[in-house]
């Protein structure tokens, strides 16, 4: 399956009063990492993918996190994002954030390829992931 790795530098605003990353900031970093993985697989930026396919994005519908060691202001960490499953309109991912080779946090999430509702109503619904992107995300 497809994977992508990026560096993230923990900034002052990412931290809580204890000086460690405030947990919602991890999830913001993983959201960016998901987009970078899809961009790498598609060979296009997020805005172009959204326009081309008439979608609203790939919102998260399930998440599980396991925290091992903290990350703090100034830390340079790596986030490896890997596809673990590709379905018709959803994909499962694993994010592994490491600091100096040590695992800090591991997250599993499910995202949906989401489009405006086809019946014209308000809201969104799952839409089929394009075949070429399915192939790329599957490592094919």
One digit per residue, the tens of pLDDT, for the chain of length 140 reads 899 999 999 999 999 999 999 999 999 999 999 999 999 999 999 999 999 999 999 999 999 999 999 999 999 999 999 999 999 999 999 999 999 999 999 999 999 999 999 898 899 999 999 999 999 999 86
Question: Taking the domains of the chain in order of start, what are their residue ranges?
Answer: 3-137
Residue of 60, 18, 71, 10 whose CA lies nearest to 35:
60
Locate tokens 């930026």: which residue?
45
- Measure the CA–CA gap between 91 and 113, rounded to whole angstroms: 8
Taking the model in full, what pTM does it have?
0.93
Architecture of domain 3-137: Roll (3.10)
CA distances from 137 to 12, 18, 25, 83, 85 (A): 34, 38, 26, 7, 9
């Amino acid at each position: 399956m497809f994977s992508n790795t990026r560096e993230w530098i923990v900034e002052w605003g990412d931290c809580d009063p204890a000086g460690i990353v405030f947990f919602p900031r991890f999830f913001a970093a993983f959201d960016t990492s998901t987009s970078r993985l899809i961009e790498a697989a598609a060979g296009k930026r997020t805005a172009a993918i959204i326009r081309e396919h008439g979608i609203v994005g790939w919102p998260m519908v399930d998440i599980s996190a396991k925290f091992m060691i903290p990350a703090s202001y100034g830390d340079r960490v790596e986030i490896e994002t890997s596809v673990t499953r590709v379905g018709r309109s959803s994909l499962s991912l694993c994010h592994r954030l490491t600091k100096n080779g040590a695992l800090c946090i591991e997250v599993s999430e499910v995202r949906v390829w989401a489009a405006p509702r086809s019946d014209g109503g308000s809201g969104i619904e799952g839409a089929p992931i394009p075949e070429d992107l399915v192939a790329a995300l599957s490592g094919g």
